[in-house]
Amino acid sequence: MKKTFFILSISLLTACNQAQEKVSPSATLISNANIVDVRSGKILENRQVIIDSGKIKSISETLENADAYPNIIDAKGKYLMPGLAEMHAHIPSPPTDAERIGETLFLYLSNGITTIRGMLGDPTHLVLREKANTGEILSPRIFTSSPSLNGNSVKTPEEAKEKITAYQKEGYDFLKIHPGIQLEVFDEIVRTANEVGIPFAGHVPVDVGIRHALESKYKSVDHVDGFLEGLVPESANVKPTDNGFFGYKFTPLADTSKIDELVQMAKANKVWIVPTQSLFTKWFAPTDAIEMLALPEMKYMPASTLEDWKRRKTESTGEGTDFNEAQWQRFDTIRKQLIKALNDNGHGMLLGSDAPQLFNVPGFSIHKEIQDMADAGMTNIEILRTGTLNPATYFDREDTFGEVKEGLAADLILIDANPLENIEALKQLSGVMRQGKWMPKSEIDKKLAKIAENTGQN
C-alpha cells in the first residue's frame, strides 16, 4: 500500500513538473480577464488567456500553474477585446521623414487601433507593410491601396489597363478610386481589376454614379459617397457636377424614399460601407475651427498642418461660402438615415474616420467616428463589430484577427470598463497588445509625450 502511494505521489509530482516545464519563457498570461466576445455580444468572465509567439495560445476558465508564467498581466475587473481597425486611414509618404511616419503609426496604436487600411498608397507603404508584418517596426497591421486613380492619373482606358495591371503585380492590396474618372475609363478599371484579381474601393466619380458603382461591385464605398446624389429624382434634371461637397447642394432635392433601393443594391452586390461621418461633423459642419484646434489631441500634429486645416475649414464653411446651417442639418439627417439603413439592411459597415484629415488626428479621431455611428442609431455591439469582426471578414482574414480566440493574432486591447454598456469605455485603455507585445498605458503616455514634444519643436 505504501509502495503504491509512493509511486502515485511520484507520478503526480512528475506530472506537475512537466506542466511547469511546458510554460514557454516567452509566454504572457493575461489573468482574470473579462473577454468581450464581439461575435455573440456577450462577456466571458474571468478568463485566463495565454499569449506566445504573437498568437493567442489558449483561453481557459482556470489555470493551475499561473505563477509559472514569466509575464503576467493582471486583468481583474478589466475587459479584453480585439484591437480596432481604422478602415479609412492615411499613412504619410516621402518627403515626410521616417520619424514622423513612425509617430503617425504609433498614434493609431495609442488608441487601440491594431489594423489600418491605408487609402492613398505609395511604394514606400509596401515596405512599411512588410516591416509591420515582421515586427521590425512598431505599427498596426497595414493593408494599403494603390496610388490614386483619378481623372488626372488615368485619362484613357489604355492607361487604366496598364496601371491596374502594374499595381496588382507590385502587390498593392486594392485600388483606390478618386473623383474625376470618366465612365469608359472606370469600366476599363473594373474589367481589368476583375481580370487580374484586385479589388477596388473609395469614391464614386460623378460620371459613374452610385447605381453603376454598386453594380460594378466596389469592395467598399467610402464616405457614403454618391448615395445622396442617388436620391435625387431624374425629374429634377440636375447637372451631376453641381452636387457640391458629397451631394450637399442636392440636399433639398433628395427623396429619402429611394434609400431602400440603394441599400438593397449595396446588399445584392456585397458592397461594404465606410461612413467617415466624422468628416461631416467636424470639417463640413457648423463647428468652430478654434474650438476644434483646442482639442487635446491637436498637440500631436505639426503647426503647419493645423494652420492648413484652419484655412481649409474657412474655405469650406466660412463667410462667403454657400454653407448654410439649416441645409447642413437636413444633409446630416439624410446621411444618418443612410448609415442606419445601410447598417441594418445593407451588406456591412466598417469603422473609418479618414485620419489625418481636417481635425481628425490619427487614432484619436476613431472615437468621434464611433460616437457619430451611435448618433446614427447603431448599437454598441454593432459599432464594435465594424472595427473588429467586419474588417476581418472584409479582408477574408477571420482566421487571423478580429476576435479574442485561440489561434488568432494577439492584437488586443485591455480597457477599464465594459464597452457593451458604454461605448466610451474604448477611451479607457489599460494597454495595447500588438503581435503579442504588451504596451501598458504608462508606456503609451510616455511615447505620446515625446511625440508632442517633437511636434512642438517643428
pLDDT value of residue 1:
45
| pTM score of the predicted model | 0.93
pLDDT value of residue 22:
82
Question: How far apart (Å, rounded) are the C-alpha atoms in residues 22 and 432?
Answer: 26
pLDDT value of residue 458:
57
pLDDT value of residue 186:
98
Give per-10-residue mean pLDDT for the chain (458 aa): 45 43 88 98 98 97 92 97 98 92 97 98 97 96 98 97 98 98 98 98 98 98 98 94 95 97 98 97 94 96 95 93 95 98 98 96 98 98 98 98 98 98 97 98 97 82
Domain annotation for the chain: domains and CATH numbers: 84-402 (3.20.20.140)
Question: How far apart (Å, rounded) are the C-alpha atoms in residues 230 and 250?
Answer: 10
Q: Is 158 exposed, middle or buried (0-12, 13-18, 19+ CB in 10 A)?
A: exposed
pLDDT value of residue 457:
62
pLDDT value of residue 455:
87
